[in-house]
Amino acid sequence: MKLSEEQVRYVAKLANLNLTQAEIDRMVQDLGSVLEHMDSLAAIDTEGVEPMTQVLYQTEETATLRPDVERAPLANEAALANAPAAGSGYFKVPKVIER
Amino acid sequence: MTADSIQSIREGLLRKEFSAVEVAREALVFAERENPKTNAFLLFSAERAVANAERVDARIAAGEEPGLLAGVPVAVKDVILTKGLRTTCGSRILEHYVPPYDATVVERIEAAGGLIIGKTNCDEFAMGSSNENSAFGPVRNPAAPDRVPGGSSGGSAAAVAQKTAVISLGSDTGGSIRQPASFCGVVGVTPTYGRVSRYGLVAFASSLDHIGPFARSVRDAATLLEAMAGRDPLDSTSADAPVPNYAAHLDGHVRGMKIGVPISYMRHALGETYELIDKAIRRLKGLGCELREISLPATDYAVAAYYIICTAEASSNLARFDGARYGLRSAASATLSDMYHNTRGEGFGPEVKRRIMLGTYVLSHGYYDAYYKKAQKVRALITRDFTNAFQSVDAIVAPVSPFPVFRIGEKVDDPMAMYLSDIYTITGSLAGIPCMSVPCGTTNEGLPVGLQILCNHFHEQQMFRLADAFERR
């Protein structure tokens, strides 16, 4: 499956990813060759096969449940320590609503 | 340093030949001096290592048990969070990120007396097979400086090979521990999915991500796995299965063990790699193992299935890097949407962008069934192949990579060729079974080659026993 430049731009928009024109040209070529290989999957018969959504092994169904007990959350200050912009205990981002 | 194994450090400490603080300081001086040769470390953590060494020395002075990893210098791949120690994931987007908490494995290693001496270089967000995708420069292979160390855990493999760390931690999604272990001539282990907690591992593909050890011997790798394995309430995918004393069962008894050899895997291994793997298999026969030809037919579709599943999961996992809460934020962004687009455009490197794009595409409306769902069905077939095989064999042996270590820059321009080279490691990853690479010789040029051993879910003990017997031969 080849991808058009228009499709690449659409996917980049879905992914919130800004790409330069050079990057888009390269994506058209690279994604095309990878998707071509991926199309080989159509040849394998998977009739009646359940999709494997996670690794399964012999275990009880409740094995991954934990007791419902309180645990101290990350302190506000620690959570904000890496924020590019913060104030009054919150993350700050560019304005989304005009007054 | 003369004490360069977990066992020899422990004995030296208990006999008071040296202290843990001396081990830490000596290891750091050596590592900082040697590091420019490989670029394996991105950061050293002297203060933390010495503080932990002091605790080990205090325990020994008080006559207490100092722990399974007492005084052992450990390197940690830079995708694993260390509280207060910068963790970059090899990415510009996290260049200045300082985690507010420790990964569970980091806590467990330090509780066992291990000394974390630094963070190691890797492909950006663990995406790559050569360590050339790091934003902080490639790592050089200690055995051949013009060549890659493999990836994505290239720094952790190189540090152990270069002896700047005794043991190290890597992460493996499709071969990122086994392939660099093979290329650097060290032992690398991908445990069963769920065997080791991933709390604090920056997620790449959650249904495939593992944390595992590198070491210079099977015994050290087994000991490190024992120290960090086991149920963690903070990771709901961690298994509630008892952790055996792995190192205690390395008795060399492999006579009668049934070993499966997937013939189609051997057919694709090239030249000297084929010869070395073939020699290794004959050596296993010499140890009394029974060889059986097996077939893993769905392998032909593994690369396609793997790169659909891992990129789909990556595109979701990496959505969190948006400039709002941590990491880079693009300076010139008037709106929230611009901030997301620009931050991600500026912060991610080419391979990460490629995988986010692929993953977003295969999950997008109209393509989900043809790609993602189909890949999950193929994954079930690949797992079934292994389940069938393990009804008649105890372990499977195979190459790790179709070819020996390549040169820096040699394959960087052809992403599909790089993906195809992961063929032997991704099948085990998709099935979630334990697999490892153990050194099996070098090519005429002196390039290391590893033998891959794969066992059934939670059969690490058997895998280590075979690898140890092979290593000693």
Cα B372 to Cα B455: distance, rounded to the nearest angstrom: 27
Considering B19, B45, B77, B197, which one is annotated as catalytic? B77
**What ipTM did this prediction achieve?**
0.94
Flag if A15 and B336 touch (Cβ within 8 Å): no
Flag if A15 and B356 touch (Cβ within 8 Å): yes
Q: What pLDDT does residue B388 have? A: 97
Q: What pLDDT does residue B452 have? A: 98
Cα A58 to Cα B292: distance, rounded to the nearest angstrom: 26
Mean pLDDT per 10-residue section of chain B, whose length is 473 residues: 87 97 98 98 98 98 97 98 98 98 98 98 97 97 97 98 98 98 98 97 97 98 98 91 93 96 82 93 97 95 97 98 96 91 97 98 92 96 97 97 93 88 96 98 96 97 98 85
Of chain A residues 29-48, which have a CB less than 8 A from chain B?
30-31, 33-35, 37-42, 44, 46
Flag if B335 and A31 touch (Cβ within 8 Å): no
Average the pLDDT over A18-47 and give the result.
Answer: 95
Rg of chain A, C-alpha, whole Å: 23
Evaluate if residue A20 carries a pLDDT over 90: yes
Q: How confident is the model at residue A2 (pLDDT cuts 50, 70, 90)?
A: confident
Can you tell me whether residue B260 is helix, strand or coil?
strand
| Cβ contacts of B100 on chain A, cutoff 8 Å | 74, 78-79, 81-82
Of chain A residues 58-87, which have a CB less than 8 A from chain B?
58-59, 63-64, 66-67, 74, 78-79, 81-85
Q: What pLDDT does residue A62 have? A: 67
Evaluate if residue A12 carries a pLDDT over 70: yes
pTM for this entry: 0.97
Q: Which of A52, A53, A78 sits opposite B100 (nearest CB)?
A: A78
Q: What pLDDT does residue B264 have? A: 86
Evaluate if residue A61 carries a pLDDT over 80: no
| Cβ contacts of A14 on chain B, cutoff 8 Å | 360, 364
Q: Which of B298, B358, B364 sits opposite A14 (nearest CB)?
A: B364
E-strand ranges in chain A read 86-87, 90-91
Average the pLDDT over A89-95 and give the result.
Answer: 93
* DSSP symbol at B300: G
Q: What pLDDT does residue A60 have? A: 66
Evaluate if residue A77 carries a pLDDT over 90: yes
User: Considering chain A, what percentage of its residues have pLDDT values greater than 90?
Assistant: 73
Can you tell me whether residue B246 is helix, strand or coil?
helix
Average the pLDDT over A29-36 and give the result.
Answer: 94
Domain spanning A5-43: which CATH class is it, in words? mainly alpha
Token representation of residue A38: 């991926």
Positive or negative, the CA dihedral A62, A65, A67, A68 is negative
Rg of chain B, C-alpha, whole Å: 21
Tokens 């392998």, residue located: B299
Cis peptide before B8 (omega within 30 of 0): no
Q: What pLDDT does residue B417 have? A: 86
| All domains in chain B, ordered by first residue | 6-249 (3.90.1300.10)
Q: What pLDDT does residue A58 have? A: 63
Q: Chain B closest CA to A70's CA: distance in Å? A: 12
